[in-house]
Amino acid sequence: MNEKRTADIYIRVSTDEQADKGYSQRNQEEMLRKYCLKHSIGVRNIIFEDHSAKSFNRPQWKKFLSDIKKRRKGPDLILFTKWDRFSRNAGDAYQMINILSNYAIEPQAIEQPLDLSIPENKMMLAFYLAAPEVENDRRALNVFYGMRRAKKEGRYMGLAPIGYLNKVDINGRKYIEHDKPNAILVKVAFEKLSHGTFNTEQVWKYIRNKGLKCSKNTFWQMIRNPVYCGKIFIPSFKDEAAYFVNGQHKAIISKELFDKVQMVLDGREKTYRTKLETNNNFPLKGFFICPKCGNSLTASKSKGRSKYYSYYHCFKGCSYRVNADKINDSFKAYLSNFFINEKVFPVFEKLLKEAFKQSTKELLIEKLQVEKQIDDYKKRIKNIKDFLATAKIDPEDYKEMKQEYEEVLNNLYLRIKKINNQFPPIEELLNMDKSKILSLKHISVNKTIVEFRTILSQVFPEYLFFENEQVYNKRKSIILNYLYLTDI
C-alpha cells in the first residue's frame, strides 16, 4: 500500500486585488481542502499570503522555502487554485519550479492541473503563466497612458509636493491645493534663493527653523520643481518630445520667480555665498574684492598677545589683509555720502501701497466674507423679529433663535477684530519720515545681520573695493542711480 502523500496549501490574495469570489482566502481554502480530501492527500500546512505575485519576494513564501531548506524535507505537493496564485511572471515561475523539484516538491494548480513530466504540458504551463503576466503589463500600460493623459490636461498626479495637499472633489477627481502655512514658507525659500545672497543649504536651514519639515534632498527637489509656478512636466515618450503644460492647480510662485531661481542655481548669475550665522564682526564678508589678486575677501580672527583681532583677508597664497574695524568704519562713512532723492517719495508711497495691497489680499477677501456673514445674521435677527410681530413664531422660539444668532454674531465680530489686527500699519508707515526710512546711513539700525546683508546685496550687487583707506565701487547699481544723490 502506497504511503499517503502530503501537501502544503498555498493561499494568496494580493493587496491590490479584490477579495471577491474565486480570490478570497476562505473560498480558496475550502476548494483546496475538498481537493485534498477527495484525492486522499494529507494537509501538512496552510500558507496564507497577502502579497503580489510579480515576484517570489513574498514573506510567507520565503519562510516556506527557508523551512524546507533547513529540514531538507518538505511536502510532496504545494497546492494552489490557479497558476496565477503561484506566479504572474513566467521566468520566475520556471526557476521556482526547478528549485522545488530539487526538494522533490511538485507545484500543482487544482483548477489547471498539469502533469509536468509530459513535455507538451510545459507549453500549456507557459500559457497559464504568461496570461496573467500579459494582463499585468496591459494594466500597467493602461495606468501609464491614463496618468500621461491626466498630466497633459494639467492635473498633478501622485503625492502632493511640500506646500500642497492632496484633495478629492465631489466627482472623485483628485487635485492638489495650497497647504497655507507650508506654502508661505515655500514662497519665502524661492524669494531668498532668487536674491543670490544665500546658498541652498543656508536657505534650507532657515525655512526648516521656521517650521517647514523636509530633508535636504527633498528641498533640492522642491526648488527645481516647476509645479510651484503652475507648470506640469510631460516627459518624452516614443516620438513625442518633453514639454510643459499649464497645471489646473494654483501656483505658489510666479514663473518669473521660478526662472530667476533656476538661473541662480545654474550659476548664470553672480551669487554671494554667505552664512546665515555670519559673525557680527564681519558684516561685509564676501562683499569686497582683494585689490591685489581680485578674489573675494573672507574674514577671520587672529590671536594677538592679549586678545583677538578681526581681519578681512585674502586666501590662496595672497597675503593681503586689513583690520575689520577699519573697513566697517569706512563703509559707514561711505554710506553717509548718499542722500535720498525726494523725487522718489511719490513712487515709494505707490510701491508701499501696492505691497500692502498684495500682502493683505487674502486678509481682505476673508474680511469681506466675514462681513457678508455678519450682514446675513443681522437680517436673520430682523426676520425673526418680524415673525414674532406677526405671530408666526412664539416668544420662546424667538428667544432661542435670537440667542443662537447673537452668539454667532459675537464670534464673527471677534474674527473681524482679529483680522484687523493682522493688517500692517500702512498709515503709520506713510506718515513716517521717508528720508530716514530710505537712508543708507541707517541701513543697519534695528536690523539683524541677515537682514543687513540681504539689503546690501540689493543695493550693491557688484563687488566693493577698499583702497587708500576708502571704500568705493566701480559701477553704481540701478538702486543707487535712481534713488540716491551723492557728493562722491
Three-state secondary structure along 27-45?
HHHHHHHHHHHHCCCEEEE
How far, in Å, CA of 277 to CA of 428, rounded?
32
Report, as an integer, the average pLDDT of 263-284.
60
Residue type for position 58: R
> 275's torsion region: left (phi>0), alpha (psi -120 to 50) or beta?
beta
Look at residue 132 and tell me if it is in a domain.
yes
How far, in Å, CA of 52 to CA of 44, rounded?
24
Q: Check residue 206 and report its DSSP letter.
A: H
Report, as an integer, the average pLDDT of 393-416.
87
Indicate whether 55 and 198 sit together in one domain.
Answer: no
Indicate whether 338 and 378 sit together in one domain.
Answer: no
How far, in Å, CA of 75 to CA of 46, rounded?
11
Look at residue 284 and tell me if it is in a domain.
no
Indicate whether 124 and 234 sit together in one domain.
Answer: no
* Contact by Cβ (8 Å): 60, 14: no
Indicate whether 110 and 45 sit together in one domain.
Answer: yes
pLDDT at 444 (0 to 100): 59
Look at residue 281 and tell me if it is in a domain.
no
Report, as an integer, the average pLDDT of 62-69.
89
Look at 349 and 262; give whichever has higher pLDDT.
Answer: 262
Contacts of 22 (CB under 8 A, 6+ apart): 81
Look at residue 283 and tell me if it is in a domain.
no
Contacts of 226 (CB under 8 A, 6+ apart): 232, 233, 244, 258
Contacts of 19 (CB under 8 A, 6+ apart): 13, 25
Q: Output the nine-digit C-alpha cell for 151.
A: 498630466
How far, in Å, CA of 283 to CA of 444, rounded?
10
Look at residue 430 and tell me if it is in a domain.
no
* Sign, CA torsion 392/393/399/401: negative
Look at residue 183 and tell me if it is in a domain.
yes
How far, in Å, CA of 246 to CA of 231, rounded?
5
How far, in Å, CA of 332 to CA of 456, rounded?
12
Give me the residues paired with residue 339 across strands: 485
Q: Which helix (H) or strand (E) holds 151?
A: helix 121-152
Question: Does the predicted TM-score (pTM) go above 0.85?
Answer: no
- How long a stretch of residues is the chain? 488
Q: Check residue 343 and report its DSSP letter.
A: G
Q: Output the nine-digit C-alpha cell for 323.
A: 583690520
Q: Output the nine-digit C-alpha cell for 71.
A: 529540514
Indicate whether 416 and 449 sit together in one domain.
Answer: no
Please give the C-alpha separations between residue 119 and each of 113, 116, 123, in angstroms, as whole numbers: 14, 7, 8
Indicate whether 326 and 371 sit together in one domain.
Answer: no
Confidence of residue 463 (pLDDT cuts 50, 70, 90): confident
Indicate whether 196 and 122 sit together in one domain.
Answer: no
Look at residue 168 and tell me if it is in a domain.
yes
Indicate whether 182 and 61 sit together in one domain.
Answer: no
pLDDT at 399 over 50: yes
Segment 163-216, tens digit of pLDDT: 999 988 887 788 899 998 899 999 999 998 888 777 888 889 988 888 888 888
Residue type for position 12: R
- List the alpha helices (DSSP H) in 231-344: 255-265, 324-335
Confidence of residue 1 (pLDDT cuts 50, 70, 90): very low
Segment 6-55, tens digit of pLDDT: 999 999 886 555 444 445 778 888 899 999 999 999 999 999 988 777 78
What count of other Cβ atoms lies within 10 Å of the Cβ of residue 139?
A: 11
Domain interval for residue 394: 361-423
Domain termination site, one of 240, 265, 290: 265
Q: Output the nine-digit C-alpha cell for 385.
A: 423679529
The count of domains in the chain is 4
pLDDT at 341 over 90: no
* Contact by Cβ (8 Å): 387, 379: no
Q: Which helix (H) or strand (E) holds 114?
A: none
Look at residue 270 and tell me if it is in a domain.
no
pLDDT at 350 (0 to 100): 79
Indicate whether 254 and 381 sit together in one domain.
Answer: no
* Sign, CA torsion 199/204/205/209: positive
Indicate whether 75 and 115 sit together in one domain.
Answer: yes
